[in-house]
Amino acid sequence: MESEMPQLPRKDEQKKMLARAAADLVEPGMMLGLGTGSTVDFFITELSQRNFSGSGLTIVPTSRASAGKAEECGFKVVSPSASAVPDLTVDGADEVSRDLSMTKGGGGALLWEKIVARASQRRVYLADDTKLVARLGKFPLPVEVTPFGHVYTAILLRKFRAATRLRIDASGEPFETDSGNLIYDCNFPADADPAKLDVDLSSVPGVVTSGLFIGFIDILLTVADGQTVPVSDPSDVFW
Based on CB atoms, which residue is closest to ligand 5RP, 38 or 228? 38
Residue-wise over 93-125: b if at least 16 C-beta within 10 A, else e?
bbbbbeebbbbbbbbbbbbbbbbbbeebeebbb
Is 61 a binder of ligand 5RP (CB under 6 A)?
A: no
Scanning 33-41, 45-53, 153-161, 168-176 for contacts with ligand 5RP by CB under 6 A, the matching segment is 33-41
Is 181 a binder of ligand 5RP (CB under 6 A)?
A: no
Based on CB atoms, which residue is closest to ligand 5RP, 149 or 230? 230
Output the CA torsion sign for 167, 168, 174, 179: negative
- Per-residue interface string for the shown chain with ligand 5RP, residues 83-112, x marking contact by CB under 6 A: --------xxxx---------xxxxxxx--
Is 37 a binder of ligand 5RP (CB under 6 A)?
A: yes
How far is residue 213's CA from residue 198's CA, in Å, rounded to a whole number?
9
DSSP-derived pairing of the beta strands 123-126 and 219-224? parallel
Helix (H) or strand (E) holding 185: strand 182-187
Binds ligand 5RP by CB under 6 A, chosen from 14, 36, 89, 164: 36
Q: CA of 29: how far to CAs of 57, 118, 221, in Å?
A: 4, 21, 23
Among 27, 113, 144, 173, the one annotated catalytic: 113
Is 35 a binder of ligand 5RP (CB under 6 A)?
A: yes
Based on CB atoms, which residue is closest to ligand 5RP, 18 or 192? 18
Based on CB atoms, which residue is closest to ligand 5RP, 55 or 187? 187
Based on CB atoms, which residue is closest to ligand 5RP, 15 or 150? 15
CB atoms < 10 A from the CB of 129, how many? 15
| Residues that contact ligand 5RP, how many (by CB under 6 A) | 17
Shortest Cβ 37–ligand 5RP spacing (Å): 3
13 assigned to active site:
no
CB atoms < 10 A from the CB of 42, how many? 22
What percent of the chain is helix, strand and coil (3-state, nearest 5)? Answer: 30, 25, 45
DSSP class of 79: -
Shortest Cβ 206–ligand 5RP spacing (Å): 20
Residues that bind ligand 5RP (CB under 6 A): 35-39, 91-94, 104-110, 113
Q: Which residues are catalytic?
A: 113
